[in-house]
Amino acid sequence: MRQLIVTGCPVPQQLPRLDGVDYLKLPSLQRVGPDELAPRVLPISADAAREMYRDLLLSVAHHFEPDALLVDSAEGEVVPMLRYLKETARHTCLILGLRDVVAEAPLVRAMWEREGLYDLLDNIFDRILVYGERDIYDVVGEYGLSARAADKTRFVGYLRRDVESQAVRQVRAELKLGADGLVLVTAGGGQDGRHLFEVMLEVLRRPGRATRFESLLVGGPLMPLRHQQTLRSLTSTVPGARFVDSVDDLTAYVAAADVVVSMGGHSTICEILSFERPAVIVPRAAPRREQLIRAEALSNRGLVRMIHPDELTPARLSQELERLLERRVAAAAPVRLDGAAATAAELDSLLAQLPG
């Protein structure tokens, strides 16, 4: 099997090198509004960027004509490619993969209605996969999928991360932790995580901490250089704290941590759930409420502790950390983590139906 991954990832060097897999890098975009994207680097308009994406994706579809196409979005510039493959390459299986939460329901319903996505869900896609659990967040009900679309939908579970125990031991040895606890602070890409790190540093400065622990702050590959410099300077004056711009394998650091403090992105949540790490989530609440909805749902299930960003203070964060460090227990309720295997099974099922 041969695969082509088309991505707008702003840090393509972090993508793994795999046999039989090639990559096409698109210009990176960033969210500037609830349903608005703009080029991250290129000095072109949002409309020009969408036209570029549309043309490149159509060209890929025309020349590659895959047996299966899995997309994580079906908005705007992706639609012409989908319609082309449905009409011209009739053997191509079309699959939509969705995070457990896309955004708040009113926004998603309005956006999907405007973009004509409900028609695509009913008539274009062969399967709709949700990387989550229905009883945590019901995409079908919240976003108003029709009976026809619901029949194609599979909640495949969260995406498990794996790491060798040797890598975990190596992380703790490199950090020279000994018996001290490790609190890992990460904000995903890091582009808007500065405030979370600053509050964490204030926690570490508080006198009379009940529990002894070290803290590693990982800025992230998208953190602005000026923020990195500021945080590096601030951290140098705080005992028990270390700041690094990024790490090669964040998964191993999550697995090695006694507590994780993080925002609420889907990827980081999958890592926290995979290793059953006690976690304090301070989700982003704008421009979309995706992270907030996810964190609230997981908190209600007892899987994480959540602090609303408007309620984030050193005192509150310190209280949550002490509670989790004293208990040193993982989340009480299990979740499905076989999303990758279940996705592969769905693909195999669809491909098996192809003629010849």
Q: What domains are defined for the chain?
A: 3-157+337-352 (3.40.50.2000), 165-327 (3.40.50.2000)
pLDDT at 167 over 60: yes
What is the rounded CA–CA span in Å between residue 188 and residue 221? Answer: 8
- For residues 241-279, one letter each, b for 16 or more C-beta atoms within 10 angstroms of the residue's C-beta and e for the rest, the string is bebeebbeebbbbbbbbbbbbbbbbbebbbbbbbbbbbb
Phi, psi of 157 (to 5 degrees): 100, 170
Among the listed residues 201, 176, 196, the one whose alpha carbon sits nearest the alpha carbon of residue 186 = 196
Structure tokens at 158: 């969260």
Per DSSP bridges, beta strands 3-7 and 127-131 are unpaired
> What's the rounded mean pLDDT across residues 32-43?
77
pLDDT tens-digit readout, 308-326: 999 999 999 999 999 998 8
Q: Given this model, what pLDDT does residue 210 score?
A: 65
pLDDT tens-digit readout, 238-254: 988 999 998 888 999 99
Q: Given this model, what pLDDT does residue 179 score?
A: 64
pLDDT tens-digit readout, 144-160: 999 999 999 999 999 99
pLDDT at 332 over 60: no
Q: Given this model, what pLDDT does residue 329 score?
A: 56
pLDDT at 192 over 90: no
pTM of the model: 0.92
> What's the rounded mean pLDDT across residues 122-130?
97
pLDDT at 300 over 90: yes
Bridge-partner residues for 37, per DSSP? 31
Q: What percent of the chain has pLDDT over 90?
A: 67
DSSP string of 90-128, one letter each residue: TT-EEEEEEES--S-HHHHHHHHHHHTHHHHHHHT-SEE
Bridge-partner residues for 306, per DSSP? 281
pLDDT at 280 over 90: yes
> What's the rounded mean pLDDT across residues 204-231?
87
What is the rounded CA–CA span in Å between residue 45 and residue 333? Answer: 46
Q: Given this model, what pLDDT does residue 49 score?
A: 85
Among the listed residues 262, 244, 274, 251, the one whose alpha carbon sits nearest the alpha carbon of residue 337 = 274
pLDDT at 262 over 70: yes
Mean pLDDT score of the chain: 90
Among the listed residues 242, 241, 244, the one whose alpha carbon sits nearest the alpha carbon of residue 221 = 244
Q: Given this model, what pLDDT does residue 330 score?
A: 53
Alpha helices in the chain (DSSP H): 46-64, 79-88, 105-115, 117-123, 139-142, 147-152, 165-174, 194-205, 225-235, 250-256, 266-274, 290-300, 314-327, 339-352
* SS3 of residue 281 by DSSP: strand
> What's the rounded mean pLDDT across residues 110-126?
94
Which residue reads 């082509």 in tokens?
A: 4
Q: Given this model, what pLDDT does residue 70 score?
A: 96
* SS3 of residue 11 by DSSP: coil
> Which pLDDT band holds residue 36 (cuts at 50, 70, 90)?
confident
Structure tokens at 149: 């679309």
pLDDT tens-digit readout, 81-116: 999 999 987 789 999 999 999 999 999 999 999 989
> What's the rounded mean pLDDT across residues 17-23?
89
> What's the rounded mean pLDDT across residues 255-267?
95
